[in-house]
Amino acid sequence: MAQFARSPVTAVLGPTNTGKTHLAVERMCGHSSGMMGFPLRLLAREVYDRVVAIKGPQSVALITGEEKIVPPGARYFLCTAESMSLDRDLAFVALDEAQLGADPERGHIFTDRILRARGREETMILGSASISRVVKALVPDVEIISRPRFSTLSYAGAKKLSRLPKRSAIVAFSAEEVYAVAEMLRRFRGGAAVVMGALSPRTRNAQVQMFLNGEVDYLVATDAIGMGLNLDVAHVAFASLRKFDGRRARRLTVSEMAQIAGRAGRHHRDGTFGSLGHEDGDAAFTPEEIEAIESHHFPPIDQLFWRDGTPRTDRLDHLVADLEAKPDRPELRAAPEAVDLAVLKRLAADPLVIERTKGKRQVERLWAACGLPDFQKLGADHHARMVSRIWRFLSEGSGHIPRDWFAQQIARLDSVQGDIDTISGRIAATRTWAYIAHRADWLEHPAEMAERTRMLEEKLSDALHAALTQRFVDRRTSVLLRDIGQNASNLPVTVEQDGTVCVDGETIGRLDGFRFSVDPATRLADRKMLLAAADRRLGKVLRVKAEELVAATDADFVLLDEAGQAPGIAWGGTTVAALLAGPSLLSPDIRLDRALLALGQDVQKQVVARLSTWFEAQKQKHLLPLVKMAESAADPAVPPVVRAVFAQLADAGGVMARTDLDDALGHLDKEQRHLLRKAGIDIGVLDIYHPGLLKPGAARWRSALLSARIAKPCLPLPGPGLTLIPAGEKPAQMGARIAGFRGFGDQMLRIDMAERMARAAHEAIAKDEPFTATSPQIVSLGLSEPSFLTLMRLAGFRPVAPRAPAADVPCVEDVEGLAPAETAEGTETTEVATPVPAGANWAFRGRQKPRPDRQQQGSKPRAGKPGGKPEGDRRLSRERAPRPASAGSTPAPANNAFAGLAELLGRNG
């Protein structure tokens, strides 16, 4: 303390980062009491928190225009310059940023504090070295102490926004410019914290905390950061070097540039400054400015703005005259008309004001009302109307603002809806009411209203912080940019139970099986970055999942055969492989999903081997008859003609229309046919098939394998257990044919049931019994009469005239030689038939031998020739009676399902 003992007033002057404020705080805490004045409410709050940590909350007070924390035993006061009470007897007094005495708007406040604020034991004036001459002139007994900067400040040139180093602060001079820069940083660098002088302390602290915690690497601010706010900034970039000072747009002075640039560097860490963009135009520093900032040599300030700090208040005209008085010292100059004086002069012209301002108390009360800050920046005229309303309440009745009216004004602001500007406007208006509430004699219950305004400001401040963060911070992008850096291995990646993928707590997408999908809420510009992050971070997770797949049981795998979808294999509910065409129907190519291709070759081979093992097990379980057909087709011990039949059947999936194999069957003898039946193959009248391949599981696999062969989606299959279904649309018909159904008119019947009905008809005729649409077998099956007639005709039976006139239903006759009503390759032909007359009695007698050539050509059945055999004679005869057809008969499509499906899908794409 010896160096300060020589004079009661000490001026500690120097550039930024010299520890001036820290020194003053230490000096104050060494005294029994003290007060410090600051240029910003934010800075006063920051130092208040520091002193509270040293002296305790009961000893420290915070006094600003709209916030007062004054414990009864307070001995240390942290204030804004305007709120400094010069009537208190305190041991220590300090004024920070004293060079603001040269500011046209607020300079007269700082000049007044330089001249009149004194501590009983010690007074400190803190500021730039540029005011040393004027301070020495105004305070002759002042002791000036210069302090060097702790670290070096150097010029780093112009940098693009995308190339700014981390821990940078970008300074702009309008809210619009701040928002624009912050939006660009959100897009390219994950976001930025925003600090403006208009922010409430709560919002400002929350924003700065994000920057200090490393949640964002950039800070966008107005020149408020130049007023002593201590931030861990490595580089300061100027978005512009021009500002609007309330009267005109002008270039910053070198001192102002240095004050802002000096925020770069902390304690002994060096800092840099530069411009944003290109090194040309108004945004570029001149060589002279760079040299002055780096060497901390600035033009001296010769004059400070002044206004009488103790005007007379006995009369209104005396008050105005003293406030407009000119200084009588060359170091001082008259301050421009401030808002409070402009409002006073407007009100002084109001007759009601003149009438009521009689006496010293009323003049002082009016001047105090005019001191209400224009937080909303509404202008003197609008603000004067607001002050006039307040003063009228203060000058009538009890002299208090009505409680209900005041509460209504607060309630109007109690909403967190709206954008950033809307919420900021509400906070500014709330600061007005907070200022009023902290005037002890303006409200009847000031403590209650002060608490309500405080709670409202905190509520709005939290909403503003959330709005700023939502708009200007993309934490996910910030996390991923860090993920790209050197510390990527330190960022934890987690996959939740529902598949959500998070990096350091931020959702980047979803993992379904092995396939990663980007969060749908992601902007298009960020999708590539998220996919790249997934590629880097999910390798280990995918390898673990691949090991789980290889170790899975057969029950964990599922065949994907949904209608309209390509066939594949699923594990854990997601697709892991697709089935593509292979060397044969039973040997498809198992192609891994592209998500698994990111794994190593060794892992891929293990997965393919596991899926192949499962596929072989499924073939043995569901397609064993088909597997045995393929084996028999390659067995040299089997006769060649039988092998040919096996090969065709195996290639067709084990089900074929008989017409497709008639030529091959014609070359088989009785023993060779026995080999087919011994293999479980039914050689029916209409189809050749293995009954085991008509089961639902086998039908699903046959459908999937066929779709894989022709690279087309699967078709819909009938439900399990069905034997008779409506024909439906063509895709449904084709799916039913794959499952072993054959079309008869507007119905489709499973082929084993069709063969059973054909045998039942033959047995009935053999017993000389009628077989009609009302026979029990047909009725229980649900086959309609037109479908029954079509089935009988295709099976080789034909309707004939009844033997007895009592008959009233058609019967069948076994006559050979007529052709079926379908062709081989899945195409349909029109069956030309003679309608059955209404009320006619017809019987079916006998079975006819299929002859494909005639019905394929669409020819009509020939009428019987004279001299033909009697009706009912089952001997082979070339003479045939006319073959009438049942009414409503429809073409019957072939049952070559594989060929027909390929044709249909080929036509329809």
pLDDT band at 265 (very low <50, low <70, confident <90, very high): confident
- How far apart are the C-alpha atoms of 681 and 1, rounded to whole Å? 113
Residue 551: its pLDDT value, please?
A: 92
Residue 412: its pLDDT value, please?
A: 94
Place of tokens 């006094």: 63
Residue 197 pLDDT greater than 90, yes or no: no
Residue 523: its pLDDT value, please?
A: 62
Could you give the percent of the chain with pLDDT greater than 90? Answer: 47
- What pLDDT, in 10s, does the model give residues 591-626? 998 878 778 888 889 999 999 999 999 999 999 999
- What pLDDT, in 10s, does the model give residues 521-539? 666 656 666 666 666 667 7
With H, G, I as helix, E, B as strand and everything else as coil, classify residue 865.
coil
- Please give the DSSP secondary-structure letter assigned to residue 887: T
Query: Rounded to a whole number, what is the distance in angstroms from the first to the last CA of the chain?
Result: 94
Alpha-carbon separation of residue 44 from 51, 62, 532, 836 (angstroms): 11, 7, 46, 107
pLDDT band at 108 (very low <50, low <70, confident <90, very high): very high
Q: To the nearest whole number, what is the mean pLDDT of the chain?
A: 81
Q: What is the mean pLDDT of residues 663-685?
A: 90
pLDDT band at 25 (very low <50, low <70, confident <90, very high): very high
The answer to whether 591 touches 577, Cβ cutoff 8 Å, is: yes
Residue 529: its pLDDT value, please?
A: 61
Q: What is the mean pLDDT of residues 884-891?
A: 37
Find the range with the poorest average confidence among 155-169, 230-244, 373-387, 494-508.
Answer: 494-508
Sheet holding 574-584, edge to edge: 557-560, 568-571, 574-584, 587-592
Closest CA to 40 of 107, 101, 97, 104: 97
- How far apart are the C-alpha atoms of 648 and 99, rounded to whole Å? 101
* Phi, then psi, of 368 in degrees rounded to 5: -65, -40
- Structure-token pair, residue 719: 């439900």
Residue 314: its pLDDT value, please?
A: 93
Strand runs (DSSP E) across 276-341, as ranges? 304-306, 332-334
- Structure-token pair, residue 814: 């076994």
Residue 812 pLDDT greater than 80, yes or no: no
- How far apart are the C-alpha atoms of 687 and 895, rounded to whole Å? 8
The answer to whether 420 touches 471, Cβ cutoff 8 Å, is: yes
Alpha-carbon separation of residue 596 from 171, 206, 601, 613 (angstroms): 48, 44, 10, 18
pLDDT band at 493 (very low <50, low <70, confident <90, very high): low
What string of DSSP letters covers 763-814?
Answer: HHHHTT----TTSHHHHHHT--HHHHHHHHHHTTEEEE--SSTT--S--EEB
The answer to whether 255 touches 72, Cβ cutoff 8 Å, is: no
Q: What is the mean pLDDT of residues 641-655?
A: 92
Task: Give kind and range of the element (H or E) at residue 724.
Answer: strand 724-726
Residue 827: its pLDDT value, please?
A: 31
- What pLDDT, in 10s, does the model give residues 730-769? 888 999 999 999 999 899 999 999 999 999 988 888 888 8
Amino acid at 588: P
Residue 822: its pLDDT value, please?
A: 32
Residue 856: its pLDDT value, please?
A: 34
Alpha-carbon separation of residue 32 from 37, 44, 116 (angstroms): 17, 20, 21
Could you give the percent of the chain with pLDDT greater than 70? Answer: 80
Amino acid at 546: A
- Please give the DSSP secondary-structure letter assigned to residue 837: P
The answer to whether 705 touches 653, Cβ cutoff 8 Å, is: yes
Between 875 and 652, the higher pLDDT residue: 652
Burial environment of residue 640 by CB neighbours within 10 A (0 to 12, 13 to 18, 19 or more) = exposed
- What pLDDT, in 10s, does the model give residues 410-421? 999 999 999 888
Find the range with the poorest average confidence among 276-285, 465-474, 707-716, 848-857.
Answer: 848-857
Dmax of the chain from CA atoms?
Answer: 153
Amino acid at 414: D
- What pLDDT, in 10s, does the model give residues 321-345? 999 999 999 999 999 999 999 999 9
- Of the spans 355-359, 491-495, 690-694, which averages the highest pLDDT? 690-694
- Structure-token pair, residue 334: 């008259």
pLDDT band at 481 (very low <50, low <70, confident <90, very high): low
- Of the spans 467-481, 486-500, 535-549, which averages the highest pLDDT? 535-549
* Phi, then psi, of 904 in degrees rounded to 5: -65, -50
Strands 34-38 and 60-64: unpaired
Find the range with the poorest average confidence among 385-394, 655-664, 801-810.
Answer: 801-810
- What pLDDT, in 10s, does the model give residues 428-452? 999 999 999 998 889 988 889 999 9
- How far apart are the C-alpha atoms of 599 and 604, rounded to whole Å? 7
Residue 255: its pLDDT value, please?
A: 86
Task: Give kind and range of the element (H or E) at residue 10.
Answer: strand 9-13
Residue 866 pLDDT greater than 90, yes or no: no
What string of DSSP letters covers 425-456?
Answer: HHHHHHHHHHHHHTSTTTBSSHHHHHHHHHHH
Q: What is the mean pLDDT of residues 561-577?
A: 87
